[in-house]
Structure 1
Amino acid sequence: MPRNIKQILTWLLFGFIIYAIITSPDRAADIVQATWDIIAEGFRNIGRFFSSLME
């Protein structure tokens, strides 16, 4: 992907995030919390997987 397109898409994503936070901060916080929960659960599951391999 050319650098200019990547930079434009990055700025558009950043702008959308700012817009979402300004227009609906509670919903934006819920989305961030849900995303964090998914990531944390994924790491816990990876840890459980490797722990099961060691048993």
Structure 2
Amino acid sequence: MVQTKKVALWALAVFVAYTVIHSPARAAELVQIGFQGISDAATSIGEFMTQLIK
């Protein structure tokens, strides 16, 4: 089980490195989209909590 996790982690790391090296602009765009999604989710949770207090 532990060996499987190590192999999966290494495969993910190799994939990320390949993506960044092969297409850095696309990789940056994907990271930006991910952070935008996290930001939108945090904003929505904040609005939800504000509405609960009112």
TM exceeding 0.5 = yes
Per the alignment, residue 44 of structure 2 pairs with: 45
Residue of structure 2 equivalent to 1:54: 53
**Counterpart of 2:16?**
17
Runs of 4+ aligned structure 1 residues displaced above 2 Å come to none
Structure 2: 5+ residue runs without aligned partners?
none
The one-letter code matched in structure 2 to 1:27 is R
Please provide the CA RMSD for this pair. Answer: 0.5
5+ long unaligned stretches in structure 1: none
Q: State the number of aligned residues.
A: 54
> Could you tell me how far 1:53 is from its partner in structure 2?
0.3
Amino acid across the alignment from 2:49: F
